[in-house]
Amino acid sequence: MQLTNRPFLNVSTSVTGRTWRDRLDVRASQTALAIAQRHRVPDLLARVLAGRGVEIEDVPGHLDPTIRALLPDPSTLTDMDAAVERLAEAVCTQESVAVFGDYDVDGATATALLVSTLRAGGLDPLFHIPDRIFEGYGPNVGAIEELASRGVTLLVTVDCGTTSTEPLAAARKLGLDVIVLDHHQAGERLPSATAIVNPNREDDLSGLGHLCAAGVVFLTCVGLVRRLREEGHWTTARPAPDLLSSLDLVALGTVADVVPLIGLNRAFVTKGLVALRRRERAGLTALMDASRLDGPPRPWHLGFLLGPRINAGGRIGDATLGTRLLLTQDGMEARAIAAELDRLNTERQEVERAILAAAEAEAFAAHGLDDAGAAVVVSGDGWHPGVVGLVASRLKEKFNKPAFAIAFNGETGTGSARSIPGVDLGKAVRAAVEAGLLMKGGGHAMAAGLTVERHRLGDLRVFIEQALAASVLKARGQDALSIDGALTASGATPNLVEMISRAGPFGAGCSEPVFAFPNHKVTYAEAFGAGHVRARLTAADGTSVKAVAFRVAEEPIGRALLSGRGRILHVAGTLDVEHWQGEARVSLRVRDVAEPA
């Protein structure tokens, strides 16, 4: 029940067709008032906390999430004890171990974390990151045979392996023991392995299904260090690793993989940002400098500056670059790798723009402007497989529905899919595999990967449409912009943004606060870059705030700002602080625009 039947600021239909709603209903408003009174926090911060479901008694823990308070015993995960015991045996007997990771940020951070922990224990493990184009996702028989020929006796897969039945069976035939450390959704049948640690396997009761692979690996390392301590392995000459200092890796994997920022994940990101600010890891320090990161790192920097550059290696370059960057202790090598990743990221953006234009044209040809269909499914010959995930994400944003982008090479296509909140994409893709429509596929609720034969594409479109129709209709029927409060330009100060950030970190599962700026004049607006728009919003008292809207110059938001010069508008968005020549300035990242009633 809303506090009022009227939309926020009476905006029933914005330029994007959405209704603006107060995020707080009656109960949440009462909770916000109680939070402000009991915990002596500002009213606006109390509203933000209540709007994210924080109960009165949970406020102190939310404002200061600690690893100590939130870290569970690793043994609560199914198969964890078996995994730790086998890893400890490998360390104590100096076995040859190989870590097989994924080519995305979560895979790179998880691989680097496990390799560095094993190195601290005295091993020199091999690691393999598959080439996205030539090897594809997950373990493959060729790579496993190569590792076995190099004397590997224990294979650990991270951020992959849960659905790799045949490759892992091949590993066992070659005499390798296998440990899987993963988080992707799992079916009833699991591969044969010494241990499969995955909080999303059906028989796992840990309640940790929100962890990314780096989070699962962190818990594994905690268990391993503890087990080796019991064995007396750690000495003055060989001290146990400080795992808390590795939370920068876990934070990066957590944010980049867009897992919910709830529970333990909040502590991972909060404390990981503290570790990142110390600039002690040569690779991430070099990458922050190459990314031209301004001011102290914040969650969105991980997702939009650092993450894409690490991903660029796996998308269109050398898939091992990201992991090598995270493992190196040599500053010169770190700067060289970071510069190469920065270059590849620029190249990736150019490739992505060309493919996105073709994908949008196909989507409009298929769906027109009538918004028909539950999902967008596009494909193309010669598309770079490394960017289809990004293309799917852009299409999802543009059409506000799940999107699939598939790159065909001959009669086989490799694709990625991205979903909207409330629509479980991983479940639909797994069902398509079981129905025989996909050669392989998997993922989680918000993202999935797949391989499809060309002659199955039409059947796949029909299947996806039927599988997602009901949940997409329900999710889009609830599509309104939730507003946390109203501000004026004069109230949007760096101090206010810092105060609001105490309720973070913000991201998936803990949405960034959205504030409305009512009746502000657009005193300046222009398009810039690759379809972006920047503007200045001026309040009645003459104070103003900078606003920026990304990739919307040809969209309703961009057109409204560009045509609104000199006019009064309601503008809603999220706040950020920019640092320029030592000065902190607030900017508004625009989410929506509306005409005053």
How much is the CA Rg of the chain, to the nearest whole Å? 24
Q: What is the mean pLDDT of residues 74-89?
A: 98
Residues 20-35 pLDDT 10s: 999 999 999 999 999 9
With both helix axes pointing from N to C terminus, report the angle between 247-256 and 105-120 in degrees, rounded to the nearest 10: 160
User: In the prediction, which pLDDT does 369 show?
Assistant: 53
With both helix axes pointing from N to C terminus, report the angle between 26-39 and 43-51 in degrees, rounded to the nearest 10: 130
Q: What is the mean pLDDT of residues 516-545?
A: 96
Retrieve residue 327's tokens.
């493992």
- Other Cβ atoms less than 10 A from the Cβ of 563: the count is 10
Q: Which amino acid belongs to residue 75?
A: S
Per-residue 3-state assignment (H helix, E strand, C coil) for 159-183: CCCCCCHHHHHHHHHCCCEEEEECC
3-class state of residue 580 by DSSP: strand
Q: In angstroms, rounded to a whole number, what is the distance separating the alpha carbons of residues 441 and 589? A: 35
Establish how many alpha carbons lie within 13 A of residue 196's alpha carbon, considering only the half-sphere containing its beta carbon: 23
Residues 206-254 pLDDT 10s: 999 999 999 999 999 999 999 999 999 999 999 999 999 999 999 999 9
Which strand ranges, in their side-by-side order, compose the sheet holding 177-181? 126-128, 97-100, 154-158, 177-181, 195-197
Contact by Cβ (8 Å): 516, 489: no
User: In the prediction, which pLDDT does 370 show?
Assistant: 55
Residue-wise burial string across 279-294, b where 16 or more C-beta atoms lie within 10 A, e elsewhere: eebbbbbbbbebbebe
Whether residue 508 has pLDDT greater than 90? no
User: Dihedral through CA 276, CA 110, CA 323, CA 292, nearest 10?
Assistant: -30
Match 């009538």 to its residue by tokens.
370
For residue 345, what is the enclosing H or E element? Answer: helix 331-367
Question: Whose CA is closest to 137, among 172, 163, 170, 118?
Answer: 163
User: In the prediction, which pLDDT does 368 show?
Assistant: 60
Contact by Cβ (8 Å): 102, 158: yes
Tell me the whole-structure pTM to 2 decimals: 0.90
With both helix axes pointing from N to C terminus, report the angle between 105-120 and 307-316 in degrees, rounded to the nearest 10: 100
Q: In angstroms, rounded to a whole number, what is the distance separating the alpha carbons of residues 160 and 145? A: 17
Whether residue 2 has pLDDT greater than 70? no
Q: What is the mean pLDDT of residues 453-474?
A: 94
For residue 526, what is the enclosing H or E element? Answer: strand 515-528
Residues 565-581 pLDDT 10s: 999 999 999 999 988 77
Residues 326-384 pLDDT 10s: 999 999 999 999 999 999 999 999 999 999 999 999 998 876 655 678 999 999 999 99
Whether residue 397 has pLDDT greater than 70? yes
User: In the prediction, which pLDDT does 195 show?
Assistant: 98
Whether residue 256 has pLDDT greater than 50? yes
User: In the prediction, which pLDDT does 445 show?
Assistant: 85
Q: Give the pLDDT band (50/70/90) at residue 590.
A: very high
User: In the prediction, which pLDDT does 1 show?
Assistant: 38
Whether omega before 505 lies within 30 degrees of 0, making that bond cis, reads: yes
User: In the prediction, which pLDDT does 119 show?
Assistant: 98
Q: In angstroms, rounded to a whole number, what is the distance separating the alpha carbons of residues 97 and 482? A: 49
Strand partners, 181: 158, 197
Q: In angstroms, rounded to a whole number, what is the distance separating the alpha carbons of residues 512 and 504? A: 8
Percentage of the chain lying above the pLDDT 70 cut: 98
In degrees and rounded to multiples of 5, residue 318 shows phi and psi of -85, 115
Q: Give the pLDDT band (50/70/90) at residue 3.
A: very low
- Other Cβ atoms less than 10 A from the Cβ of 124: the count is 10
* Contacts (Cβ under 8 Å, ≥6 apart) of 565: 522, 523, 524, 525
Strand partners, 2: 25
Establish how many alpha carbons lie within 13 A of residue 165's alpha carbon, considering only the half-sphere containing its beta carbon: 7
Whether residue 591 has pLDDT greater than 50? yes
User: In the prediction, which pLDDT does 478 show?
Assistant: 75
Residues 302-312 pLDDT 10s: 999 999 999 99
User: In the prediction, which pLDDT does 4 show?
Assistant: 46
Q: What is the mean pLDDT of residues 118-135?
A: 94
Q: What is the mean pLDDT of residues 462-472?
A: 95
Whether residue 320 has pLDDT greater than 90? yes
